[in-house]
Amino acid sequence: MKTMLNVALPKGRLGEKVYNMFEKAGFDCPSIKENNRKLIFENEECAVRYFWVKPSDVAIYVERGAADIGVAGKDILLEYTPDVYELLDLKTGICRMAVAAKKDFRDNLQRPLKVATKFTNIAKNYYTSVGRDIDIIHLNGSIEIAPILNLSDVIVDIVETGTTLKENNLEVFETIVPISARLICNKSSFKFKNEPIEKLLKSLASQVAQEK
Ligand code: PRP
């Protein structure tokens, strides 16, 4: 029996796009396209098994070896710094991590800046690097509401099209870091399942290069 390559994909549009890239690389698994609520799919012939997981959990599966390979946003990698190899920038899922606030926001340097975010580590590292004291407020979603209700002065969040900010009368004040999807790999899988991983990596890298 061939050794299976276990792949954690982020559930949603990004995951579907990335699956198509894996398929082109020779790791197809037709059952994944049947629209049902299953979360695990395998194709013994290609020796591959896919899991749909919550995007922010992909790195946990890969770090702990439940998956050999996965696709995670750079935001998650910067926030949680999982002990994995980052093999390739897939140049998709492109967005940026930014500081946003109400249009009339002016920073008052006399007091700590109140920052609402899901990404507390990214926010802390950024404000440490610019030498600004902050009061961090951890939220789990709908971050854009925080400055509107004066819960915070600013937010640190993902901006993709900018529509969410615009519709809530907020604007970007600073871009912290560009974000895109990355191929990540469990460190021991990289050693012990090197052959299929290298095959996959080579094909994905050439697909990314062709898309340029
Ligand atoms: C992200 C982010 C913004 C939105 C930005 O949320 O937190 O709310 O996308 O996208 P836009 O610039 O194209 O409007 P996501 O959809 O990931 O949901 P969540 O914050 O509830 O996890």
One-character DSSP codes across the chain: -PPPEEEEEETTHHHHHHHHHHHHTT---GGGGS-SS--EEEETTTTEEEEEE-GGGHHHHHHTTSSSEEEEEHHHHHHH--SSEEEEE---S-EEEEEEEETT----TTSPEEEEES-HHHHHHHHHHTT--EEEEE-SS-TTHHHHTTS-SEEEEEESSSHHHHHTTEEEEEEEEEE-EEEEE-HHHHHHTHHHHHHHHHHHHHHHHHH-
Amino acid identity of residue 197, one-letter, is: I
Going by alpha carbons, the residue nearest to atom 22 of ligand 1 is: 141
Going by alpha carbons, the residue nearest to atom 20 of ligand 1 is: 141
Confidence of residue 3 (pLDDT cuts 50, 70, 90): confident
pLDDT in tens, 47-100: 999 999 999 999 999 999 999 999 999 999 999 999 999 999 999 999 999 999
Average pLDDT over residues 141-155: 97
pLDDT in tens, 103-125: 999 999 999 999 999 999 999 99
Q: Which one of 75, 94, 160 would you pick to mutate in the ligand 1 pocket, going by the greatest count of ligand atoms within 8 A of its CB?
A: 160
The verdict on the CB of residue 140 being under 6 Å from ligand 1 is no
pLDDT in tens, 178-188: 999 999 999 99
pLDDT exceeding 70 applies to what percent of the chain?
Answer: 99
- pLDDT for 55: 96
Confidence of residue 1 (pLDDT cuts 50, 70, 90): low
Atom of ligand 1 nearest to the CA of 167: 14
b or e along 53-77 (b: 16 or more beta carbons within 10 Å of the residue's beta carbon)?
A: bebebbbbbbbeeebbbbbbbbbbb
Confidence of residue 212 (pLDDT cuts 50, 70, 90): confident
- pLDDT for 34: 86
Average pLDDT over residues 14-26: 96
Residues 14 and 4 sit within 8 Å (Cβ to Cβ): no
Query: Taking the model in full, what pTM does it have?
Result: 0.94
The verdict on the CB of residue 157 being under 6 Å from ligand 1 is yes
